[in-house]
Amino acid sequence: MKSTLLRPILSARFRANPALNIILTDRLPQSQREKLRELVNEEEYYGVLRKSGGAGQPDKVIDHETALLFLTMREPGPMPDYVTRKFGEDCNRAVAELVLDGVLEIEDPSTGEFVVGAAAHSLLYVPGERRRKSDNRLVHISRQALAYAARLPLDDVNDVASRLYRYNTLPFSPKAREAWPRQSLTSLWLAHVDVLDRWHAASPEEKGKGWLSFSARNSASAENGNRHLPFKLYISPRPEALRELWPVILQKLALANVPSFKIGGDAQMVFRPDKLVAYLPDFASLSQTASLLREGLNGSPAQGVPFTAPIDEAGLLSWGMDPRKEFTANGRQIAESWRSWIVKELAGAIVEAKSSPAAIEPVDFALDKLRLQGIDSETWVPKQSMWSSTRGRYASTNS
Residue 332: predicted pLDDT: 37
DSSP symbol at 197: T
Is the pLDDT reported for residue 165 higher than 70?
yes
Residues 6 or more apart whose CB falls under 8 angstroms from that of 30 comprise none
Q: What is the mean pLDDT of residues 195-214?
A: 77
pLDDT band (50, 70, 90) for residue 314: very high
Length of the chain in residues, anyone? 399
Helix (H) or strand (E) holding 20: strand 20-24
Of 38, 60, 58, give the one whose Cα is nearest residue 49.
Answer: 60
DSSP symbol at 302: B
Lowest mean pLDDT among 38-47, 154-163, 200-209: 200-209
Of 162, 264, 260, 170, give the one whose Cα is nearest residue 210.
Answer: 264
Residue 158: predicted pLDDT: 92
pLDDT digits (tens, 9 = 90+) for 249-265: 999 999 999 999 999 99
pTM of the model as a whole = 0.83
Question: What are the C-alpha distances in Å from 25 to residues 39, 47, 53, 58, 332?
Answer: 13, 4, 19, 15, 19
For the chain, give the mean pLDDT. 84
The shares of helix, strand and coil residues in the chain, as percent rounded to the nearest 5, are 40, 20, 35
Lowest mean pLDDT among 174-183, 185-194, 201-210, 253-262: 201-210
Q: What is the mean pLDDT of residues 100-114?
A: 94
Amino acid at 163: R
Is the pLDDT reported for residue 137 higher than 90?
yes
Contact 9, 95 (CB under 8 A): yes
Kindly report the backbone phi and psi dihedral angles of residue 111, in degrees, each rounded to the nearest multiple of 5, phi listed first: -120, -15
Three-state secondary structure call for residue 225: helix
CA distance 298 to 330: 46
Residue 388: predicted pLDDT: 54
Is the pLDDT reported for residue 82 higher than 60?
yes
Q: What is the mean pLDDT of residues 261-287?
A: 94
Amino acid at 322: D
Write the DSSP string, 38-81: TTS-GGGEEEEEEETT-TTPPEEEEEHHHHHHHHHTTS-EEPPH
Residue 182: predicted pLDDT: 72
